Amino acid sequence: MVPGDIAGYIEKLRVRSVELEKELADPDIYSKTDVFRKVNQEHSKLSALLEKFDRWVKSLGELGENRLMLNDEQDSELRELIESDISQLETACSALEEEIQISLLPPDPNDSKNIIVEIQPAAGGDEAALFASELFRAYLYFAENQGWKVEILEQSDTDLGGIKNVSFSLSGCDVYSKMKYESGVHRVQRVPSTEAGGRIHTSTVTVSVMPEAQEVELDIKPEDLRFDVFRSSGPGGQCVNTTDSAVRVTHIPTGLSVASQQEKSQHRNKEIAIRILYARLLEKKQSEEAAKQAADKRSQVGTGDRSERIRTYNFPQNRVTDHRFNVSSYDLPKLMQGEIDLILNPILKLVCEQQLETLRNS
Protein backbone atom coordinates (compact mmCIF):
# COMPACT_ATOMS: atom_id res chain seq x y z
CA MET A 1 0.00 0.00 0.00
CA VAL A 2 1.58 3.32 -1.12
CA PRO A 3 1.52 6.45 1.11
CA GLY A 4 -1.20 8.08 -1.01
CA ASP A 5 -3.50 5.10 -0.51
CA ILE A 6 -2.88 5.18 3.22
CA ALA A 7 -3.51 8.94 3.43
CA GLY A 8 -6.84 8.66 1.63
CA TYR A 9 -8.06 5.89 3.86
CA ILE A 10 -6.84 7.64 7.00
CA GLU A 11 -8.98 10.70 6.26
CA LYS A 12 -12.05 8.46 6.23
CA LEU A 13 -10.98 7.07 9.59
CA ARG A 14 -10.65 10.62 10.98
CA VAL A 15 -14.30 11.20 10.13
CA ARG A 16 -15.21 7.95 11.86
CA SER A 17 -13.17 8.95 14.92
CA VAL A 18 -15.12 12.20 15.23
CA GLU A 19 -18.39 10.25 15.03
CA LEU A 20 -17.22 7.94 17.82
CA GLU A 21 -16.22 10.91 19.99
CA LYS A 22 -19.75 12.28 19.64
CA GLU A 23 -21.19 8.91 20.69
CA LEU A 24 -18.91 8.79 23.75
CA ALA A 25 -19.95 12.32 24.68
CA ASP A 26 -23.57 11.17 25.01
CA PRO A 27 -24.20 10.31 28.72
CA ASP A 28 -26.80 7.69 27.74
CA ILE A 29 -24.12 5.41 26.26
CA TYR A 30 -22.75 4.58 29.73
CA SER A 31 -25.96 2.75 30.60
CA LYS A 32 -25.45 0.45 27.59
CA THR A 33 -22.45 -1.61 28.67
CA ASP A 34 -21.91 -3.61 25.47
CA VAL A 35 -22.39 -0.60 23.20
CA PHE A 36 -20.04 1.53 25.29
CA ARG A 37 -17.35 -1.19 25.28
CA LYS A 38 -17.47 -1.59 21.48
CA VAL A 39 -17.46 2.16 20.79
CA ASN A 40 -14.71 2.82 23.32
CA GLN A 41 -12.50 0.03 21.93
CA GLU A 42 -12.96 1.22 18.34
CA HIS A 43 -12.20 4.81 19.35
CA SER A 44 -9.07 3.77 21.24
CA LYS A 45 -7.75 1.80 18.28
CA LEU A 46 -8.47 4.64 15.87
CA SER A 47 -6.81 7.18 18.17
CA ALA A 48 -3.65 5.05 18.34
CA LEU A 49 -3.63 4.59 14.56
CA LEU A 50 -4.16 8.31 13.84
CA GLU A 51 -1.39 9.23 16.29
CA LYS A 52 1.01 6.86 14.48
CA PHE A 53 -0.03 8.28 11.10
CA ASP A 54 0.60 11.87 12.23
CA ARG A 55 4.04 10.88 13.53
CA TRP A 56 4.77 9.13 10.23
CA VAL A 57 3.79 12.19 8.16
CA LYS A 58 5.89 14.44 10.40
CA SER A 59 8.88 12.11 10.10
CA LEU A 60 8.50 11.97 6.31
CA GLY A 61 8.52 15.78 6.22
CA GLU A 62 11.64 15.96 8.36
CA LEU A 63 13.28 13.32 6.18
CA GLY A 64 12.62 15.37 3.05
CA GLU A 65 14.00 18.52 4.67
CA ASN A 66 17.16 16.73 5.78
CA ARG A 67 17.77 15.37 2.29
CA LEU A 68 17.48 18.87 0.85
CA MET A 69 19.87 20.19 3.50
CA LEU A 70 22.34 17.43 2.67
CA ASN A 71 22.40 18.45 -0.98
CA ASP A 72 23.23 22.06 -0.07
CA GLU A 73 25.62 21.44 2.83
CA GLN A 74 29.37 21.52 2.18
CA ASP A 75 30.72 21.23 5.73
CA SER A 76 31.81 17.61 6.35
CA GLU A 77 30.91 17.57 10.05
CA LEU A 78 27.43 18.95 9.42
CA ARG A 79 26.93 16.51 6.55
CA GLU A 80 27.80 13.66 8.91
CA LEU A 81 25.21 14.86 11.43
CA ILE A 82 22.56 15.24 8.72
CA GLU A 83 23.32 11.77 7.35
CA SER A 84 22.93 10.33 10.85
CA ASP A 85 19.54 12.06 11.21
CA ILE A 86 18.48 10.77 7.79
CA SER A 87 19.39 7.21 8.76
CA GLN A 88 17.38 7.42 12.00
CA LEU A 89 14.39 8.99 10.25
CA GLU A 90 14.41 6.36 7.50
CA THR A 91 14.33 3.60 10.13
CA ALA A 92 11.54 5.35 12.05
CA CYS A 93 9.48 5.99 8.89
CA SER A 94 9.81 2.39 7.74
CA ALA A 95 8.76 1.02 11.15
CA LEU A 96 5.79 3.41 11.41
CA GLU A 97 4.61 2.61 7.88
CA GLU A 98 4.69 -1.12 8.65
CA GLU A 99 2.76 -0.58 11.91
CA ILE A 100 0.16 1.51 10.06
CA GLN A 101 -0.24 -1.11 7.33
CA ILE A 102 -0.71 -3.81 9.96
CA SER A 103 -3.33 -1.67 11.74
CA LEU A 104 -5.23 -1.35 8.46
CA LEU A 105 -5.42 -5.09 7.89
CA PRO A 106 -8.98 -6.51 7.93
CA PRO A 107 -9.63 -7.60 11.53
CA ASP A 108 -10.96 -10.96 12.61
CA PRO A 109 -14.61 -10.31 13.58
CA ASN A 110 -13.89 -11.99 16.92
CA ASP A 111 -10.82 -9.87 17.75
CA SER A 112 -12.71 -7.32 19.83
CA LYS A 113 -14.60 -9.94 21.83
CA ASN A 114 -13.87 -11.11 25.34
CA ILE A 115 -13.04 -14.79 25.65
CA ILE A 116 -13.46 -17.93 27.72
CA VAL A 117 -10.40 -20.14 28.09
CA GLU A 118 -10.56 -23.79 29.12
CA ILE A 119 -7.47 -25.79 30.16
CA GLN A 120 -7.45 -29.54 30.78
CA PRO A 121 -4.67 -32.11 31.28
CA ALA A 122 -4.66 -34.74 28.53
CA ALA A 123 -1.93 -37.39 28.32
CA GLY A 124 0.49 -37.73 31.22
CA GLY A 125 -1.52 -38.14 34.42
CA ASP A 126 -0.36 -36.10 37.42
CA GLU A 127 2.46 -34.45 35.46
CA ALA A 128 -0.05 -33.17 32.88
CA ALA A 129 -2.26 -31.82 35.68
CA LEU A 130 0.73 -30.01 37.22
CA PHE A 131 1.73 -28.44 33.91
CA ALA A 132 -1.89 -27.41 33.29
CA SER A 133 -1.72 -25.52 36.59
CA GLU A 134 1.57 -23.84 35.61
CA LEU A 135 0.22 -22.86 32.19
CA PHE A 136 -2.87 -21.44 33.87
CA ARG A 137 -0.70 -19.29 36.13
CA ALA A 138 1.33 -18.12 33.12
CA TYR A 139 -1.86 -16.92 31.44
CA LEU A 140 -2.93 -15.12 34.63
CA TYR A 141 0.42 -13.30 34.77
CA PHE A 142 0.14 -12.45 31.07
CA ALA A 143 -3.40 -11.12 31.55
CA GLU A 144 -2.22 -8.94 34.43
CA ASN A 145 0.60 -7.53 32.30
CA GLN A 146 -1.90 -6.76 29.52
CA GLY A 147 -4.32 -5.04 31.89
CA TRP A 148 -7.05 -7.61 31.20
CA LYS A 149 -9.75 -8.56 33.70
CA VAL A 150 -9.79 -12.21 34.82
CA GLU A 151 -12.81 -14.11 36.15
CA ILE A 152 -12.50 -17.73 37.27
CA LEU A 153 -15.63 -19.55 36.12
CA GLU A 154 -14.86 -23.14 37.07
CA GLN A 155 -11.84 -24.85 38.62
CA SER A 156 -11.15 -28.34 39.92
CA ASP A 157 -7.77 -29.11 41.53
CA THR A 158 -5.85 -32.34 42.17
CA ASP A 159 -4.39 -33.37 45.52
CA LEU A 160 -0.83 -32.75 44.23
CA GLY A 161 -1.43 -29.11 43.29
CA GLY A 162 -2.36 -29.63 39.66
CA ILE A 163 -5.70 -28.94 38.03
CA LYS A 164 -8.26 -31.34 36.59
CA ASN A 165 -9.82 -28.51 34.60
CA VAL A 166 -10.24 -24.76 34.72
CA SER A 167 -12.43 -22.31 32.83
CA PHE A 168 -11.89 -18.56 33.06
CA SER A 169 -12.88 -15.45 31.17
CA LEU A 170 -10.58 -12.67 29.98
CA SER A 171 -11.92 -9.23 29.11
CA GLY A 172 -10.08 -6.19 27.79
CA CYS A 173 -8.56 -4.75 24.63
CA ASP A 174 -7.52 -7.19 21.86
CA VAL A 175 -7.97 -10.24 24.09
CA TYR A 176 -9.02 -12.69 21.37
CA SER A 177 -6.60 -11.31 18.77
CA LYS A 178 -3.68 -12.44 20.95
CA MET A 179 -5.01 -15.42 22.87
CA LYS A 180 -6.49 -17.20 19.83
CA TYR A 181 -3.03 -18.54 19.02
CA GLU A 182 -3.03 -20.46 22.32
CA SER A 183 -5.83 -22.80 21.25
CA GLY A 184 -4.61 -26.36 20.78
CA VAL A 185 -2.46 -29.05 22.38
CA HIS A 186 0.56 -27.94 24.41
CA ARG A 187 3.25 -30.57 24.96
CA VAL A 188 5.70 -30.47 27.86
CA GLN A 189 8.96 -32.42 28.07
CA ARG A 190 10.76 -32.45 31.42
CA VAL A 191 11.84 -34.56 34.39
CA PRO A 192 8.93 -34.67 36.88
CA SER A 193 9.70 -33.97 40.53
CA THR A 194 8.44 -37.48 41.34
CA GLU A 195 10.83 -39.14 38.85
CA ALA A 196 13.68 -40.72 40.82
CA GLY A 197 15.52 -42.00 37.74
CA GLY A 198 15.87 -38.60 36.06
CA ARG A 199 13.97 -39.67 32.95
CA ILE A 200 12.30 -37.06 30.77
CA HIS A 201 8.52 -37.46 30.57
CA THR A 202 6.24 -36.14 27.84
CA SER A 203 2.77 -34.88 28.76
CA THR A 204 0.09 -32.85 27.03
CA VAL A 205 -2.45 -30.20 28.01
CA THR A 206 -5.34 -28.95 25.89
CA VAL A 207 -6.23 -25.26 25.69
CA SER A 208 -9.43 -24.01 24.13
CA VAL A 209 -9.91 -20.28 23.47
CA MET A 210 -13.48 -19.27 22.66
CA PRO A 211 -14.92 -15.81 21.97
CA GLU A 212 -17.82 -14.99 24.25
CA ALA A 213 -21.13 -15.17 22.43
CA GLN A 214 -24.15 -12.91 22.38
CA GLU A 215 -27.60 -14.47 22.20
CA VAL A 216 -28.30 -12.71 18.90
CA GLU A 217 -25.37 -14.56 17.30
CA LEU A 218 -26.83 -17.97 18.13
CA ASP A 219 -30.62 -17.64 17.85
CA ILE A 220 -31.26 -20.00 20.77
CA LYS A 221 -34.88 -20.58 21.73
CA PRO A 222 -35.81 -21.07 25.41
CA GLU A 223 -37.14 -24.52 24.63
CA ASP A 224 -33.73 -25.51 23.21
CA LEU A 225 -32.22 -25.45 26.71
CA ARG A 226 -32.71 -27.97 29.52
CA PHE A 227 -31.60 -27.14 33.04
CA ASP A 228 -30.82 -29.74 35.71
CA VAL A 229 -29.81 -28.99 39.28
CA PHE A 230 -27.82 -31.33 41.51
CA ARG A 231 -25.75 -31.40 44.65
CA SER A 232 -22.21 -30.07 44.33
CA SER A 233 -19.33 -32.45 44.96
CA GLY A 234 -15.76 -31.94 46.12
CA PRO A 235 -14.38 -29.11 48.28
CA GLY A 236 -16.46 -26.03 48.83
CA GLY A 237 -17.86 -26.08 52.31
CA GLN A 238 -20.92 -27.51 53.97
CA CYS A 239 -23.37 -25.19 52.21
CA VAL A 240 -22.11 -26.07 48.74
CA ASN A 241 -22.10 -29.80 49.29
CA THR A 242 -25.51 -30.16 50.96
CA THR A 243 -27.70 -28.02 48.70
CA ASP A 244 -28.72 -28.40 45.07
CA SER A 245 -26.57 -25.47 43.96
CA ALA A 246 -24.86 -27.08 40.95
CA VAL A 247 -26.43 -26.53 37.53
CA ARG A 248 -26.14 -28.37 34.24
CA VAL A 249 -27.45 -26.73 31.08
CA THR A 250 -27.91 -28.79 27.91
CA HIS A 251 -28.47 -27.49 24.40
CA ILE A 252 -30.95 -30.09 23.19
CA PRO A 253 -30.45 -29.72 19.38
CA THR A 254 -26.68 -30.35 19.59
CA GLY A 255 -26.43 -32.33 22.82
CA LEU A 256 -23.75 -29.99 24.15
CA SER A 257 -23.91 -29.57 27.92
CA VAL A 258 -22.03 -27.64 30.60
CA ALA A 259 -22.14 -28.14 34.35
CA SER A 260 -21.10 -25.55 36.92
CA GLN A 261 -20.68 -26.05 40.66
CA GLN A 262 -18.05 -23.42 41.42
CA GLU A 263 -20.30 -21.06 43.36
CA LYS A 264 -22.65 -21.48 46.33
CA SER A 265 -25.43 -19.73 44.43
CA GLN A 266 -27.52 -21.77 42.04
CA HIS A 267 -28.28 -18.59 40.09
CA ARG A 268 -24.57 -17.82 39.71
CA ASN A 269 -23.76 -21.37 38.59
CA LYS A 270 -26.55 -21.16 36.02
CA GLU A 271 -25.09 -17.90 34.67
CA ILE A 272 -21.59 -19.42 34.39
CA ALA A 273 -22.86 -22.59 32.69
CA ILE A 274 -24.81 -20.56 30.12
CA ARG A 275 -21.79 -18.35 29.34
CA ILE A 276 -19.54 -21.35 28.73
CA LEU A 277 -22.21 -23.17 26.72
CA TYR A 278 -22.83 -20.14 24.49
CA ALA A 279 -19.09 -19.78 23.85
CA ARG A 280 -18.83 -23.45 22.88
CA LEU A 281 -21.86 -23.17 20.60
CA LEU A 282 -20.44 -20.08 18.89
CA GLU A 283 -17.09 -21.83 18.38
CA LYS A 284 -18.91 -24.85 16.92
CA LYS A 285 -20.98 -22.65 14.61
CA GLN A 286 -17.98 -20.67 13.36
CA SER A 287 -15.87 -23.80 12.86
CA GLU A 288 -18.63 -25.41 10.80
CA GLU A 289 -19.02 -22.30 8.66
CA ALA A 290 -15.27 -22.10 8.12
CA ALA A 291 -15.08 -25.78 7.21
CA LYS A 292 -17.79 -25.32 4.57
CA GLN A 293 -15.67 -22.59 2.96
CA ALA A 294 -12.53 -24.75 3.26
CA ALA A 295 -10.93 -21.88 5.17
CA ASP A 296 -10.52 -23.29 8.65
CA LYS A 297 -6.74 -23.35 9.17
CA ARG A 298 -6.81 -23.28 12.95
CA SER A 299 -5.31 -26.09 15.01
CA GLN A 300 -7.89 -27.01 17.61
CA VAL A 301 -7.81 -29.17 20.66
CA GLY A 302 -8.28 -32.57 19.03
CA THR A 303 -7.97 -35.65 21.22
CA GLY A 304 -5.08 -34.48 23.38
CA ASP A 305 -2.76 -37.16 21.98
CA ARG A 306 0.96 -36.38 22.30
CA SER A 307 1.36 -36.20 18.50
CA GLU A 308 -1.34 -33.52 18.09
CA ARG A 309 0.56 -30.48 19.26
CA ILE A 310 0.83 -26.82 18.44
CA ARG A 311 3.63 -26.07 20.89
CA THR A 312 6.34 -27.89 22.84
CA TYR A 313 7.85 -26.74 26.14
CA ASN A 314 11.23 -28.47 26.44
CA PHE A 315 12.57 -27.74 29.92
CA PRO A 316 15.97 -29.49 29.60
CA GLN A 317 16.73 -27.35 26.52
CA ASN A 318 15.09 -24.19 27.95
CA ARG A 319 13.13 -23.97 24.69
CA VAL A 320 9.55 -23.30 23.60
CA THR A 321 8.72 -24.08 19.98
CA ASP A 322 5.50 -23.27 18.13
CA HIS A 323 5.19 -25.90 15.43
CA ARG A 324 2.61 -24.06 13.32
CA PHE A 325 4.90 -21.11 12.63
CA ASN A 326 8.29 -22.74 13.26
CA VAL A 327 9.34 -20.14 15.83
CA SER A 328 11.17 -20.75 19.11
CA SER A 329 12.04 -18.91 22.30
CA TYR A 330 14.96 -19.88 24.51
CA ASP A 331 13.81 -18.29 27.75
CA LEU A 332 11.30 -20.79 29.09
CA PRO A 333 11.31 -19.54 32.73
CA LYS A 334 10.32 -16.02 31.67
CA LEU A 335 7.58 -17.34 29.42
CA MET A 336 6.15 -19.40 32.28
CA GLN A 337 6.15 -16.21 34.39
CA GLY A 338 3.69 -14.64 31.97
CA GLU A 339 5.94 -13.25 29.22
CA ILE A 340 3.94 -15.03 26.53
CA ASP A 341 4.99 -12.25 24.14
CA LEU A 342 8.35 -14.03 23.79
CA ILE A 343 6.66 -16.60 21.55
CA LEU A 344 3.54 -14.61 20.63
CA ASN A 345 5.22 -11.55 19.06
CA PRO A 346 7.10 -13.59 16.41
CA ILE A 347 3.85 -15.39 15.60
CA LEU A 348 1.92 -12.11 15.23
CA LYS A 349 4.69 -10.70 13.03
CA LEU A 350 4.59 -13.72 10.72
CA VAL A 351 0.79 -13.62 10.49
CA CYS A 352 0.85 -9.90 9.64
CA GLU A 353 3.52 -10.42 6.99
CA GLN A 354 1.43 -13.17 5.39
CA GLN A 355 -1.68 -10.96 5.40
CA LEU A 356 0.21 -8.00 3.94
CA GLU A 357 1.64 -10.19 1.21
CA THR A 358 -1.85 -11.44 0.38
CA LEU A 359 -3.15 -7.86 0.16
CA ARG A 360 -0.28 -6.78 -2.10
CA ASN A 361 -0.95 -9.69 -4.45
CA SER A 362 -4.72 -9.23 -4.52
Q: 211, 152, 227, 187: which is closest to 315 by C-alpha?
A: 187
The residues of the chain that CATH labels 3.30.70.1660 are: 115-212+297-361
Instruction: Please give the helix or strand (H or E) that residue 244 lies within, else none.
Output: none
| Rounded mean pLDDT, 354-361 | 70
Q: Which residue has the higher pLDDT, 238 or 206?
A: 206
pLDDT tens-digit readout, 225-281:
888 888 776 554 444 455 678 888 898 888 888 888 878 888 888 888 888 888 888
What is 217-292's CATH number, 1.20.1050.140, 3.30.160.20, 3.10.180.10, 2.60.40.10? 3.30.160.20
Average pLDDT over residues 126-133: 92
**Sequential DSSP letters for 8-21:** HHHHHHHHHHHHHH
CB 207 within 8 A of CB 186: yes
Least-confidence region, from 143-147, 173-177, 190-194, 242-246: 242-246
Return d(Cα 285, Cα 340) in angstroms, integer. Answer: 29
Determine the pLDDT at residue 108.
Answer: 74
Asked: is 115-212+297-361 a CATH 3.30.70.100 domain? The reply is: no
For position 298, what pLDDT does the model report?
43
Helix (H, G, I), strand (E, B) or coil at 184: strand
> Using CB atoms within 10 A of its CB, is residue 251 exposed (0-12), middle (13-18) or buried (19+)?
buried
Summarised one tens digit per residue, pLDDT across range 137-167 is 999 999 999 999 999 988 888 888 889 999 9
pLDDT greater than 90 at residue 220: no
Question: What's the pLDDT score for residue 143?
Answer: 94
Mean pLDDT of the chain: 83
CATH fold group of domain 3-103 = Methane Monooxygenase Hydroxylase; Chain G, domain 1 (1.20.58)
Of 233-237, 276-280, 312-316, 319-323, the least confident: 233-237
Does 350 or 204 have the greater pLDDT score? 204
Q: How far apart are CA 95 and CA 55, in angstroms?
A: 11
Enumerate long-range contacts of 145-153, CB under 8 Å, 24 or more apart: 145/338, 145/339, 146/172, 146/173, 146/175, 146/178, 147/172, 147/173, 148/172, 148/173, 148/175, 152/262, 153/116, 153/260, 153/262, 153/272, 153/275, 153/276
Is pLDDT above 60 for 294? no
Q: How far is residue 137's CA from residue 168's CA, in Å, rounded to a whole number?
A: 12
State the distance between the two ends of the chain, measured CA to CA, in whole angstroms.
Answer: 11
User: Among 154, 138, 259, which residue's Cα sits nearest to residue 205?
Assistant: 138
pTM for the model stands at 0.69
pLDDT at 299 over 70: no
What SS3 state is found at 251? strand
Q: Mean pLDDT, to the nearest integer, of 32-52?
A: 86
| pLDDT for the residue numbered 254 | 87
User: What's the whole-number mean pLDDT along residues 289-311?
Assistant: 55
pLDDT computed for residue 147 by the predictor? 92
Percent of the chain with pLDDT over 70: 85
The stretch 127-134 carries a mean pLDDT of 93
Quick one: pLDDT at residue 320?
95
Mind listing the pLDDT tens digit for each residue in 65-121?
A: 999 998 887 888 888 899 999 999 999 998 888 778 777 777 777 877 889 999 999
Indicate where the chain has its CATH 1.20.58 domain(s).
Answer: 3-103
What per-residue string of b and e applies to 148-175 under the rule 16 or more CB within 10 Å gives b?
Answer: beeeebbebeeeeebbeebbbbbebbeb
Range in 34-48, 147-161, 164-178, 279-293 with the lowest mean pLDDT: 279-293
The span from the CA of 37 to the CA of 173, in Å, is 10
Taking a C-beta distance cutoff of 8 angstroms, is the pair 273, 265 a contact? no
- What is the Cα–Cα distance from 171 to 146, expressed in whole angstroms? 10
Looking at the chain, the domain(s) classified CATH 3.30.160.20 span 217-292
pLDDT score for 237: 44
